């Protein structure tokens, strides 16, 4: 690479192209074929973990992926930060397709190494995310040794101590010499956070980063993450199965919540709208499922039936035709079995439901009945 190219690269890296979003996820699919070699050859089963997702992430932006297990949020998150390769679709970092950059480095505007550095991950269980056989000092030195090569060993140590002080782990010299098992859950999580931040990344994927912590510590950790986010301008992709935590994160940071179901985003928008005015029936289900702490409201809610026709999630290998929520949807109609809705602009959010469109043929088609009253919960496996 000539020196000219090197200069332009640096420019692209630090200032960025104003028109390009920081991260663009477009029509991404991640399909697996389960089983071993022979099984895969003999049958045609595919698990569509992520089935056509698009979204954009700007600088200093937060998006929270919410959904139940099997909805694909973890797979999507990992694909978005380049830890898993999608089977279709593209992921662009500042305009550069990241897998193209890795496969054909010559043609890349942004090198794979820089992309890799810009996208980091914080895992759910801090006990697993830290190598139990290595001390804190050694773990935190990793990113510095790799990317801050101008620092000598003393300076590295200094940087590590400063980080430990910032996150209230004092005295830093003591903490630096500890093994992970000598740290509490919250402290461990602060180390994983530090490891990601010392890379100075642009995007961090936080995969259920607080669910392994004690309840009273979660707000503290979320606040810390939000503080650091503000300070360094990192963008975050949070993954959460808990709508209440998702609301806290998204609201404090002015981000969005994206509700996922069976590999797709079914609704995306600002947290207040999602929670108070859900457009998509599945969002309603999630909202209903999230307990409120006010005992009067909670007691009232106990009498409500769940707003689904079937309680159990369908088989991910055999998703329903048309809209993949229709078998459980309390508003399901014939039109939903044939056509697959995209994300339509609704009031305040974008929602993948025909009900967002006032003039769709949905409103003219017959209601779906399967022997149950709409809203009555059926016993069974949910795969009909």
Contacting another protein within 213-242 (CB under 8 A)? 214-221, 223-224, 227, 230-232, 241-242
Contact between 121 and another protein by CB under 8 A: the answer reads yes
Q: Which of 150, 358, 359, 366 binds another protein (CB under 8 A)?
A: 150
149 binds another protein (CB under 8 A): no
Residue among 43, 128, 338, 347 that touches another protein (CB under 8 A): 128
Residues of this chain, 305-324, that bind another protein according to CB under 8 A: 305-306, 308, 311-313
Task: Write down the least CB distance from residue 61 to another protein, Å.
Answer: 18
Instruction: Select the residue interacting with another protein from 107, 295, 358, 366 (CB under 8 A).
Output: 295
Residue carrying the six token digits 């769940």: 306
67 burial class (0-12, 13-18, 19+ CB within 10 angstroms)?
buried
- Does position 355 bind another protein by CB under 8 A? no
What is the closest distance, in whole angstroms, from the C-beta atom of residue 36 to another protein in the complex?
A: 14
Q: Tokens in use for 4? A: 């000219």
Spatial separation of the C-alpha atoms in residues 236 and 81, rounded to whole Å: 10
Helix (H, G, I), strand (E, B) or coil at 16: coil
What is the rounded distance in angstroms from the CA atom of residue 243 to the CA atom of residue 65? 10
Q: Shortest Cβ distance from residue 339 to another protein (Å)?
A: 25
Rounded CA-CA distance 137/128 in Å is 17
Task: Verify binding: residue 1, another protein, rule CB under 8 A.
Answer: no
Q: With CB under 8 A, what is the number of residues at the site for another protein?
A: 118
Reading the block at residue 32, the tokens are 């697996």
Min dist CB 294 to another protein, Å, is 4
For another protein, which is the closer residue by CB, 80 or 335? 80
Four-point Cα dihedral 161, 167, 172, 176, nearest 10:
-80
3-state DSSP of 195-218: HHHCCCCCEEEEECCCCCCCHHHH
Strand (E) or helix (H) holding 382: none
Note whether 378 binds another protein by CB under 8 A: yes
Smallest separation, CB 242 to another protein (Å): 8
In the region spanning residues 234 to 293, those forming contacts with another protein, defined by CB under 8 A, are 241-245, 247-248, 251-252, 272, 275-276, 285-293
From the list 248, 210, 227, 214, the residue with the least C-alpha distance to 168 is 227
Question: Three-state SS across 339-377?
Answer: CCCCCEECCCCEECCHHHCCCCHHHHCCECCCCCCCCCC
Whole-angstrom Cα distance, residue 280 to residue 346?
A: 10
Indicate the burial class of 143 (C-beta count within 10 angstroms; 0-12, 13-18, 19 or more).
buried
Characterize the bridge pairing of strands 88-93 and 96-97.
antiparallel
- Taking the least distance from each CB to another protein, the nearer of 253 and 356 is 253
Applying CB under 8 A, among 37, 38, 302, 366 the residue interacting with another protein is 302
| Residue 17, φ and ψ in degrees, nearest 5 | -90, 125
Minimum distance from residue 248 beta carbon to another protein (Å):
4
Among 77, 86, 180, 346, binds another protein (CB under 8 A): 180
Of residues 107, 152, 358, 366, which one binds another protein by CB under 8 A?
A: 152
Site for another protein in 30-69 (CB under 8 A): 68-69
- Per rule CB under 8 A, is residue 347 in the interface with another protein? no
| Sole window of 32-40, 192-200, 335-343, 348-356 interacting with another protein (rule: CB under 8 A) | 192-200
Q: Does 18 bind another protein (CB under 8 A)?
A: no
Q: What DSSP line would sit under 246-276, residue for residue?
A: HHHHHHHHT-EEEEEETTEEEEEE-HHHHHH
**Could you say whether residue 102 binds another protein (CB under 8 A)?**
no
Given 72, 77, 86, 143, the residue binding another protein (CB under 8 A): 143
Nearer to another protein, 105 or 177 (CB): 177
Residue selected from 58, 173, 318, 370 as contacting another protein according to rule CB under 8 A:
173
Query: Is residue 26 a contact point for another protein (CB under 8 A)?
Result: no
Looking at the Cβ atoms of 134 and 360, the one nearer to another protein is 134
Give dist(CA 301, CA 288) in Å, integer.
8
Q: Binding to another protein by residue 154, rule CB under 8 A?
A: yes
């Amino acid at each position: 690479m000539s020196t000219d190219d090197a200069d332009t690269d640096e420019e692209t890296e630090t200032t960025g192209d104003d028109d390009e979003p920081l991260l663009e996820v477009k029509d991404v699919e991640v399909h697996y074929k389960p089983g071993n070699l022979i099984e895969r050859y003999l049958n045609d089963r595919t698990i569509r973990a992520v089935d056509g997702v698009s979204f954009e992430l700007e600088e200093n932006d937060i998006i929270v992926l919410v959904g139940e297990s099997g909805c694909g949020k973890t797979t999507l998150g990992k694909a978005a930060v380049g830890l898993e390769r999608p089977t279709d679709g593209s992921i662009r970092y500042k305009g550069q397709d990241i897998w193209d950059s890795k496969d054909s480095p010559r043609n890349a505007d942004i090198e794979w190494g820089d992309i890799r550095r810009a996208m980091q991950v914080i895992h759910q269980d801090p006990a697993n995310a830290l190598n139990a056989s290595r001390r804190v000092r050694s773990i935190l030195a990793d990113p510095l040794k790799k990317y801050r090569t101008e620092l000598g060993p003393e300076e590295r140590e200094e940087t590590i101590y400063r980080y430990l002080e910032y996150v209230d782990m004092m005295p830093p010299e003591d903490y630096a010499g500890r093994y992970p098992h000598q740290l509490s859950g919250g402290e461990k999580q602060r180390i994983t956070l530090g490891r990601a931040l010392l890379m100075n990344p642009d995007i961090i994927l936080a995969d259920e980063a607080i669910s392994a912590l004690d309840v009273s510590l979660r707000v503290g950790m979320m606040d810390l993450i939000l503080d650091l986010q503000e300070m360094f301008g990192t963008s975050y992709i949070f993954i959460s199965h808990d709508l209440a935590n998702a609301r806290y994160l998204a609201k404090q940071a002015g981000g969005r919540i994206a509700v996922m179901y069976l590999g797709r985003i079914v609704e995306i928008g600002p947290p207040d709208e999602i929670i108070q005015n859900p457009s998509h029936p599945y969002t309603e289900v999630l909202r209903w499922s999230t307990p409120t702490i006010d005992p009067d409201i909670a007691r009232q809610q106990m009498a409500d039936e769940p707003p689904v026709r079937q309680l159990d999630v369908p088989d991910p290998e055999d998703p329903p035709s048309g809209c993949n929520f229709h078998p459980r949807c309390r508003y399901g109609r014939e039109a939903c079995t044939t056509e697959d809705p995209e994300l339509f602009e609704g009031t305040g959010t974008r929602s993948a439901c025909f009900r967002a469109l006032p003039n769709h043929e949905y409103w003219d088609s017959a209601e779906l009945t399967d022997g149950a009253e709409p809203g009555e919960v059926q016993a069974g496996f949910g795969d009909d």
